[in-house]
Structure 1
Amino acid sequence: IEKEGWSGEVSGRRKDGSPITILITASLVKDEKGEPICMMDSFVDITERKFMEDELRIKDNAIASSLNGIVIGDLEGNITYVNDAFMELWGGDDISEIVGKSAVTFAEDEDKGRSIINVLQNEGNWTGEITGIRRDGIPITVQLSAGMVYNEKKEPICMMCSLVDITKRKEAEEKLQRSHEELEIRVQDRTKELTKANIKLKKEIEDRKIAENTLLKKEKELELKSLNLEEANTALKVLLRQGEKDKTELENKVLQNIKELVLPCIEKLKIYRLDDKQQAYLDILESNLNNIISPFLQKLSSKYMDFTPTEIQVANFVREGKPTKEIAELLNISERGIEFHRNNIRMKLGLKNRKTNLRTYLLSLA
């Protein structure tokens, strides 16, 4: 104080206990000889100013640390300040590349950027989506909330904008919209298919009704024919009994001829030297002739008249225990063909979907 005086801020409390900040300026008062005669102090209450400075500092920190991108510009839209979040959004780290430029230059559509500035100048605020361009040239969609800042006299002093990156959200919305449109198309296509199917079903029902009516008519006609056939059936039974008798006599005569005329010839052939293939066919011939006159084939033929000649041959080989491959070679048929005949034999013998062994069953018929 003796040399230069002193000035500083001092914090304290009022009589009522409320805080107060005072700016104190102290200096020595000297006489004509330069001798100090007293000390003069000046006390200024700066509590409100300090409060405003602290409040402004808090707001500055809030803007600087905000997760949203913050941009402040002059009344013409030229940028004067951006926070770190905006720099990260823009993809740069040198604020000098941005400050002083028009905010319009950062918009993909500069005409839209200028129209937003005009709205702010005339109406004071604007909110909506806009596409900007990052430093690397990649477009980015942001939610923009912009407003004019006014002083105590309601005079505009600057523009302030808050930006949120919604690029991923927009992409997700567009993807969802495409999925919705695709689903709509699929629903429409499915509806058309169901409509066609419904029309077809109605036609089928109508056709079925016509067929049922026709069937009823045919059934009535058959009833009349059935009455006429009963008499004819009686006559046929008499003829069938006679036919069975004639058949039995014919079978016995055929069997007798085989035994007396054919089998002796086979015995004579055995005397000659035959190759393996000729011998195999001779054995098959003899075996089949013996089977013809055997009780097994007589029983099989009489009981199951709907067996084809090939099925009778396959059944005979199965009864003898020959495998499918050997039967196929002997009959010159593929193995799948033999399996087909085996399935037909099982079906005709009533063994379909039963675990009964086919060879065991055939042996039981002998």
Structure 2
Amino acid sequence: MFTIRPVFLLFIIAATIFTSELLIMIFLEQLHQLPHYKEALIDSILLIIVVFPILYFLVLKPLLSQEDKLRKINENLESLVRERTEELFIINKNLKQEIAERIRAEELLLESMVKYQNLVESTSDWVWEVDKEGRYTYVSPRIRDLLGYEPEEIMHKTPFDLMPPEEAKRIKEIFITAVTQLEPINSLENTNLHKDGYPVVLETSGTPIFDMKGKFCGYRGIDRDISERKETEKQLLKQTKKLEETNIALRVILRESEITKDELEKNVLSNIKGLLLPYLTELDLRLIDKDQQFLMDIIKANINEITSLFTRKLKLEINDLTPKEIQVADLIKQGRTNKEIAKLLNITISGVVHHRRNLRKKFNIKGKKINLRSHLQNM
């Protein structure tokens, strides 16, 4: 924008007056001698006529133009100031809100950190953090109870410094593999040495941690004392071995008892056949009454059943049969009719029918076209 400096303005005015006065004097020289007052009047009029337009176009008009421009600039500046003020007000409001939110977030973070710290210090597990080299960067106070060390004593050491040499070598290989693959560590059993020298079995679990840029920083995890559990497992293993040995001994005894039982059964059967059956045969030859003969036949049949495996097998396979049902099943197997069974067992015929139904139900042949006697004979 074009501006007229004060020095330049004075120079223009002086030059204009000088030039105008020079021109007027030249003009007056062309006229005849005039009185001084007329000469002065003409001089003033001509000076005004000549100087005023020059001053208007060279000075006043640029000044008015500059004033108008300055007014517009001022209006624009005021508008910009108002807009900027409004923007600053909004920014200030948002900034206050952001500051309040940040303060609240910091308070929540502090509260969360306090809760986390209290949780870490009150838990029965030892909470720790290590860097990517395996050096401890945080150790919770729980280590005092687990290994007898103060947290400050463990800082910047590695877990391998707390283990027997062979165990340290084994665990270090596992740790290197986990770090290489950035894998979590899950329930890793390891033996540490207490500050007093005795071994403590720990179960270690941890996960890799990363910074804001995703760069691996180390591991964070917990250690749990499982010494009592391992001792219990050892005792259970001993008890299991003892039980297995006892079980083997019981099996041997059971086999021997089965052999003894078989021998006893053989002796009983031998005695029945050698001592009882001959006398029953002799008695059968002397019986004349039909009813007595009928009862003798029943006695012989029952003795034969005793010497067979049918009754024992029946009791083993259907262990919920009543004694009466066993008697009915035995007579059905012999081919006795309902009337004969009722007479022998001193029950009604309807009672025999009832027992037959129960037998079919318990043998799982109810509603099937299977003969009950045939089924009993096939057992």
Which one has a larger percent helix, Structure 1 or Structure 2?
A: 2
Q: TM-score, normalised by structure 1?
A: 0.44
Which one has a larger percent strand, Structure 1 or Structure 2?
A: 1
Q: Larger Cα Rg: Structure 1 or Structure 2?
A: 2
